[in-house]
């Protein structure tokens, strides 16, 4: 079993998540793609932790999970606010900062 198996899996999931962030226009779906990205990073952290026989990777993965939970809460609250003000969560229509 190679270390690379996990690293390549994480890289592929990361790229799929990046595609999702770029290609989706619904804000909730963009948040879901960000979750895929965060999870691929967690696979890397835990794999390197197991490889070096330390628990630091696992501890960092736990912190990332906690931060991701906070991020989803705030993100969905912002999406709800955008929906309430503009009746749409299409990211192309949230262009108030355009000059």
Partner 1 sequence: MTHSGVLAEVDWNIARNVFFYLFATIQVIAAIKVVTVKNIVHAALYLVVVLAGVAAQFILLGAEFVATTQILVYIGAVVVLFLFGIMLTRANLGADADLDQDNRVPALLTGLLLAGVLVATLLRTFEDIEFPTETRSTTARVSDSIFSQYIVPFEAVSVLLLAALIGAIVVARKE
CA distances to 41, 84, 86 from 76, in Å: 22, 12, 15
42: contact with partner 1 by CB under 8 A: yes
- Residue found by looking up tokens 């909730």 in the block: 28
Dist. CA 12–CA 6, nearest whole Å? 10
Number of residues counted as binding partner 1 (CB under 8 A): 68
CB of 95 to partner 1, least distance (A): 13
Among 53, 95, 97, 98, binds partner 1 (CB under 8 A): 53
1 vs 97 by CB, closer to partner 1: 1
- Residue found by looking up tokens 């931060």 in the block: 67
Dist. CA 65–CA 43, nearest whole Å? 12
20: contact with partner 1 by CB under 8 A: yes
Dist. CA 50–CA 42, nearest whole Å? 12
93: contact with partner 1 by CB under 8 A: no
Q: Containing H/E element for 27?
A: helix 27-52
Query: Site residues (CB under 8 A) for partner 1?
Result: 1-9, 11-20, 22-26, 28-29, 31-33, 35-36, 39, 42-43, 46-47, 49-51, 53, 55-56, 58-59, 61-63, 65-74, 76-81, 83-84, 89-90, 92
């Amino acid at each position: 079993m190679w270390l690379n198996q996990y690293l390549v899996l994480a890289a592929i999931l990361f790229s799929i998540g990046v595609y999702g962030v770029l290609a989706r226009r619904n804000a909730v779906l963009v948040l879901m793609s960000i979750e895929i990205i965060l999870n691929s990073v967690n696979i890397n952290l835990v794999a390197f932790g197991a490889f070096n026989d330390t628990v630091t990777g696992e501890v960092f993965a736990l912190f990332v999970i906690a931060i991701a939970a906070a991020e989803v809460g705030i993100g969905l609250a912002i999406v709800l606010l955008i929906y309430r003000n503009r009746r749409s969560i299409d990211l192309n229509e949230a262009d108030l900062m355009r000059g």
